Structure 1
Amino acid sequence: MDDWTTMHVDQVDVTTENVAALIQEQFPQWSGRAIQPLSSTGTVNAIFRIGDDLSARFPLRLADTTEVQAVLEQEARASAELAQMSPFPVPEPVALGKPGAGYPMPWSVQTWLSGTIAIDADPSASDAFAEDLASFIAALRNADTHGRVFDGDNRGGVIADHDDWMAQCFQESEGLLDVPRLRRLWSRFRELPRTAADVMSHSDLIPNNVLVAGDRLSGVLDTGGFGPADPALDLISAWHLLQPGPREVFRRTLACDDLEWERGKAWAFEQSMGLVWYYVETNPTMSGMGRRTLDRLLESTD
């Protein structure tokens, strides 16, 4: 594929020519705008900037059209809901596209946010950034769940439910990581009890999804996963994004107790273990991010 590196065996090709044709067919009001593929370390969508104020997102992994449509509709609802209470800029849904022009699935259009992602503009030493990040999470936690609870998909429920996935990660990580040490850490993390009720959560606060201006948080991306989950889930950001000093500022700002803090470590560990081996060849930046986070977690337990 000419615009995106292949990261998955079931990955779908999407090119600038596909995008231009889809826009011409389905959204002619935007035809003639410059289309720019974004060089991204993201793993779920190919993203193209459309003119100055829009971005188009194309799922990379082939899936049933009806299922993809349902996911995109749910993500649009979640993004619109998060936008209503976020104290920082976030993308807002604009339109949903249909399959066509050589691309076999539905796709989405959002508003474009300017800024530099945190993986390219490292804010990890900034206390002010840590306070901003905590303020964002606090605002989401204060949102009404409207009686919703965690849907059981991916991270955000019972830590030990991920044992099978972690067993695969440990097996795949032989020769890449200190697996015996990491197994011992997981054996402790998986026992951490769940005591707090679900709150609203971004659910994937990794550096790719956080925008930085100077040493401050300027926006948050990939908001379609907004929903109820373990309050500790968004604490993964402390380990992906912050050095020890700012991490303590972050913790004090959110008033995290010991159990919540340890569960945040567990979710960051579960995510990072998968990143290292899965993307070691196809997305070295993402794999390296996982390694860095695991190093921070290990340092915190020494």
Structure 2
Amino acid sequence: MSTHRMHTDEVDIDDSLVRRLLGKRFPQWADLPVTRVDSAGTSNAMYRLGEDLVVRLPRIAGAADDVAKEHRWLPRLAPPLPVAVPEPLGLGTPAEGYPFPWSVYRWLEGETPVIGRIADPGRLAKDLAEFVTALHRIDPADGPPSYRGEPLAVRDAATRTAIGELRGTIDADAAAAVWDTALEAPGWPGPPVWIHADLQPGNLLVARERLSAVIDFGCLGLGDPAVDLIAAWYVLPAGARGAFRAALDVDEATWARGRGWALSVALMECGYYQETNPVMAAIAHHVIDEVLAERHPRPRM
């Protein structure tokens, strides 16, 4: 069975293709069982390979460049990080009609956190802050710009278009006000730092109620550290955001930019994936609701 298509330019990927690619490139792994990983991920298809490995294949050309980036940088970034990150074990090449490079990684155990079902959100907030702090402190020398390394102002037109398209589904005026506040916040005064730039539930793994791994570094690169604050609204409930912010010790301007990033990303995901990826769209709707509720707190009952 093919993986579900979410993009007009998406290539067909299925179990048979994965087996053929392995047979050609990595015959030592070709006889291991191949099982599609059920995921709401949008850029890559993943197949568990035996017990200890996973094959990751870009769905679209836009994700193909991420393969070389992850193979180059993840081994260098991993040692100082407090949780596991993907470990590249094999670099696949285009073959069998599949046009992109692809990867074999070591399988990482854990479950993605589910919004509203996090057992210890305060602990997760601190774990996330420890990861973000450690990543931002790594020497940025020679690092590439992040996929989300642009100033918020560059996203202004697209964000306002998304607000307009969702009017009637969301409180468009409140969303515009939050966006205005983010744009008015002073920019990051320091040099760009390493950022993950996509700290969403599907890119985190939790084991025994603790953050155990961070995955999918397709957006990895140098940029404004505020981008990694999106986890506050994408992952954490309102009651745990204070612990996250306090552990990071960020100022009001950085927090406002982070809130703007969360809103902008969620608005665009909400529109794009509404029909093709209901899970991603639902998460995006939740993020928008949380951002706007923070501007207009819900009354206590």
- TM-score using structure 1 length: 0.91
Kindly state the Cα deviation for residue 174 of structure 1 after the two structures are TM-superposed.
Answer: 3.6
| 1:82 aligned residue (77, 81, 90) | 77
Runs of 4+ in 1 over 6 A off after TM superposition: none
2:208 corresponds to which residue?
Answer: 214
Cα deviations across residues 193-228 of structure 1 (Å, max 9, x unaligned)?
Answer: 213322211111100000012321111111343321
Q: Matches of 1:224 and 1:124 in 2, distance apart?
A: 28
2:58 corresponds to which residue?
Answer: 59
Change in Cα spacing, 1:135 to 1:71, as seen in structure 2 (3 Å) is closer
1:172 corresponds to which residue?
Answer: 165
Q: Matches of 2:90 and 2:117 in 1, distance apart?
A: 32
1:25 corresponds to which residue?
Answer: 24
Q: Matches of 2:116 and 2:85 in 1, distance apart?
A: 18
Q: Matches of 1:35 and 1:104 in 2, distance apart?
A: 20
Kindly state the Cα deviation for residue 187 of structure 1 after the two structures are TM-superposed.
Answer: 2.2
Change in Cα spacing, 1:121 to 1:248, as seen in structure 2 (3 Å) is closer
Contact 1:124 1:241 in 2 (8 A): no
| 2:293 aligned residue (279, 293, 299) | 299
**What 5-or-longer segments of structure 1 have no aligned partner?**
none
Q: Matches of 2:208 and 2:74 in 1, distance apart?
A: 25
1:233 corresponds to which residue?
Answer: 227
Q: Matches of 1:156 and 1:179 in 2, distance apart?
A: 26
Kindly state the Cα deviation for residue 137 of structure 1 after the two structures are TM-superposed.
Answer: 0.7
Between 162-171 and 129-138, report the one with greater CA deviation. Answer: 162-171
1:99 paired with 2:94, answer: yes
Kindly state the Cα deviation for residue 178 of structure 1 after the two structures are TM-superposed.
Answer: 2.5
Kindly state the Cα deviation for residue 103 of structure 1 after the two structures are TM-superposed.
Answer: 1.8
Kindly state the Cα deviation for residue 147 of structure 1 after the two structures are TM-superposed.
Answer: 5.9
Q: Matches of 2:115 and 2:172 in 1, distance apart?
A: 29
Kindly state the Cα deviation for residue 176 of structure 1 after the two structures are TM-superposed.
Answer: 2.9
Kindly state the Cα deviation for residue 184 of structure 1 after the two structures are TM-superposed.
Answer: 2.6
Between 212-221 and 188-197, report the one with greater CA deviation. Answer: 188-197
Q: Matches of 1:83 and 1:225 in 2, distance apart?
A: 16
- TM-score using structure 2 length: 0.92
Between 79-88 and 120-129, report the one with greater CA deviation. Answer: 120-129
1:123 paired with 2:118, answer: yes
**What 5-or-longer segments of structure 2 have no aligned partner?**
297-301
| 2:185 aligned residue (180, 192, 205) | 192
Change in Cα spacing, 1:234 to 1:189, as seen in structure 2 (3 Å) is same
1:257 paired with 2:251, answer: yes
* Identity %, equivalent residues: 36
1:276 paired with 2:270, answer: yes
Q: Matches of 1:171 and 1:126 in 2, distance apart?
A: 33
Kindly state the Cα deviation for residue 71 of structure 1 after the two structures are TM-superposed.
Answer: 3.7
Change in Cα spacing, 1:35 to 1:147, as seen in structure 2 (3 Å) is closer
Q: Matches of 1:112 and 1:100 in 2, distance apart?
A: 23
| 2:139 aligned residue (134, 144, 148) | 144
Change in Cα spacing, 1:135 to 1:163, as seen in structure 2 (3 Å) is same
Change in Cα spacing, 1:293 to 1:120, as seen in structure 2 (3 Å) is closer
Cα deviations across residues 147-169 of structure 1 (Å, max 9, x unaligned)?
Answer: 65x73x54233111101221331
Q: Matches of 2:185 and 2:142 in 1, distance apart?
A: 25
Contact 2:109 2:207 in 1 (8 A): no
Q: Matches of 1:112 and 1:6 in 2, distance apart?
A: 24
Cα deviations across residues 230-278 of structure 1 (Å, max 9, x unaligned)?
Answer: 0111111111111122111111111111111111101111111111111
Contact 1:78 1:225 in 2 (8 A): no
Q: Matches of 2:201 and 2:14 in 1, distance apart?
A: 25
| 1:114 aligned residue (89, 92, 109) | 109
Contact 2:188 2:224 in 1 (8 A): no
